[in-house]
Amino acid sequence: MIATHTDDRAARTGLEEVLDRLSQPENLRALNSLADHLPLIAVLVEGIDGLARKGDIITDTIAEVLEQMRAAGRASGLDVRETTEQLATLIPTFAEAAPAIHRVATSAIVHEDAVAVVGDTGLALAAGYRTAQREKPRVGPTGLLRATREPDVQRGLGFLIEVAREIGRQLDEPADPPAPSTTTTAT
């Protein structure tokens, strides 16, 4: 009977300590916050429990994916370790270039009309280059005047004049200042 009495007193003392700690203002605030978030805590606990129960399945799946990646690397002659090291070098470079990439991606240069014009102009440049390489034309002032009578040349010159007009208009508009560079140079 003595041991039971001692155990009861120890339990009461432990309970009193817990109650004293819980009655402190900062602990009461923490308990209130926990009570406010009980539904979220329950969801988190269920998620952790599910994750723990499926840990072996998740581990096996990750191991299987990694093995498939290694096998694909071996089959293609790809050195996974070397590729990983290269990616580790490239990722910070991409992160540093992200503001510039964002500016390009959100600029008018990638508008579908601009892309189409640049594509058509690129094709015309390549075709003109091949023709010039093949025929090696030489054009003097008279030949230049004669060429201006050709409908294709007239349309091309008209296009260039309209582009020049638009560039002139845009030169009158205040330009957005370029964003400051994030790279620093040693002095």
Q: Are 96 and 181 in contact (CB under 8 A)?
A: no
pLDDT of residue 184: 46
pLDDT of residue 176: 65
Q: Are 47 and 39 in contact (CB under 8 A)?
A: no
Written as six digits, the tokens of 50 are 């599910």
pLDDT of residue 185: 45
The tens-digit pLDDT sequence of the chain (187 residues) is: 455 556 777 667 788 888 888 889 898 888 888 888 888 888 888 877 777 777 778 788 888 888 888 788 778 877 777 777 877 888 888 788 888 888 888 888 788 888 888 889 889 999 999 999 999 999 999 999 999 999 999 999 999 999 999 989 988 887 666 555 554 444 4
What is the distance between the alpha carbons of residues 98 and 107, in angstroms, rounded to a whole number? 14
pTM above 0.75, yes or no: no
The separation between the first and the last C-alpha atoms of the chain, rounded to the nearest angstrom, is 84
Q: Are 98 and 92 in contact (CB under 8 A)?
A: no
Q: Are 141 and 65 in contact (CB under 8 A)?
A: no
- Residue 171, class by beta-carbon neighbours within 10 Å (0-12 exposed, 13-18 middle, 19+ buried)? exposed
- Residue 143, class by beta-carbon neighbours within 10 Å (0-12 exposed, 13-18 middle, 19+ buried)? exposed
Q: Are 154 and 148 in contact (CB under 8 A)?
A: yes
- Please give the angle made by the CA atoms of 130, 133 and 137, to the nearest 5 degrees: 115
What is the distance between the alpha carbons of residues 16 and 13, in angstroms, rounded to a whole number? 5
Please state the length of the chain.
187
What is the distance between the alpha carbons of residues 169 and 161, in angstroms, rounded to a whole number? 12
